[in-house]
């Protein structure tokens, strides 16, 4: 499709993309050892930053992934902050925390003050969904699409505004389509990566239990 972004190499190309599309950074995640993602600046093996985009004329929407240098170049053009890194082998951070900050407890309901938020705290539902969605994408070696893309975009666009419970169930539907819980996927991954962290999502589980559903 003509409006799909396949390449973003070079300064002029990045400038043109930011002119022709509405572009927003939505996530930043590590890749597990041995995993590789195709990025629009080249293949990625360590970490990748994900941008959601929408063509201003056609309305075509999708995402693209880039490495550290390309991400910085895009963010400089867009004037957007670098999202927190989600790395299951090291530590978890939630939206709004500095990339080099201290560890945040995975799924612990912690809240923090995102940059430019005038001191507003991040709701636990947002921080837990951010971590859970990114974990799922890391384990599946995928980039967020459709409902997951929409949820992450909402978090980055307004991190201090609590997501709706419907967003949790939209995430659950994605999990259900693969017939494995996030907990099962993490347990399987721990057989290969012994230093994989353990995670809990009390807020998401509380919401899921209203419909007698188990989350991750």
The 3-state DSSP class for residue 161 equals coil
Give the mean pLDDT of 115-130. 76
What tokens does 38 get? Answer: 């195709």
Percent of the chain residues topping a pLDDT of 70? 83
| Strand segments (E) across 18-137 | 21-30, 37-39, 42-44, 47-55, 61-66
**How far is Cα 51 from Cα 28, in angstroms, rounded to an integer?**
9
Q: What is the DSSP letter of 108?
A: S
Q: Say which residue, 187 or 99, is predicted with more confidence.
A: 187
Q: Tell me the pLDDT tens digit for each residue of 27-79.
A: 999 999 999 999 999 999 999 999 999 999 999 999 999 999 999 999 999 99
Q: List, as one string, the DSSP characters of 14-34.
A: HHHHHHHEEEEEEEEEE--TT
Q: What is the DSSP letter of 91?
A: B
Q: How confident is the model at residue 181 (pLDDT cuts 50, 70, 90)?
A: confident
């Amino acid at each position: 499709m003509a409006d799909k972004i396949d390449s973003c190499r070079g300064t002029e190309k990045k400038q043109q993309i930011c002119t022709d599309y509405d572009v927003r950074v939505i996530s930043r995640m590590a890749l597990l050892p041995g995993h590789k993602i195709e990025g629009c600046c080249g293949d990625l093996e360590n970490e990748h930053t994900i941008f959601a985009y929408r063509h201003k004329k056609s309305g075509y929407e999708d995402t693209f992934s880039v490495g550290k240098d390309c991400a910085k170049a895009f963010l400089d053009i867009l004037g957007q902050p670098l999202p927190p890194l989600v790395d299951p082998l090291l530590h978890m951070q939630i939206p709004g925390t500095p990339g080099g900050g201290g560890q945040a407890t995975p799924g612990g309901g912690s809240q923090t003050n995102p940059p430019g938020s005038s001191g507003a705290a991040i709701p636990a539902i947002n921080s837990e969904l951010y971590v859970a969605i990114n974990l799922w994408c890391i384990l599946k070696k995928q980039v967020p699409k459709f409902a997951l893309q929409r949820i992450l975009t909402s978090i980055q666009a307004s991190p201090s505004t609590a997501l709706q419970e419907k967003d949790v169930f939209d995430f659950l539907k994605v999990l259900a389509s693969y017939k494995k819980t996030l907990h099962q996927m993490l347990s399987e991954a721990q057989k290969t990566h012994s230093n994989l962290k353990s995670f809990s999502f009390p807020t998401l589980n509380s919401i899921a239990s209203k419909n007698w559903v188990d989350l991750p």
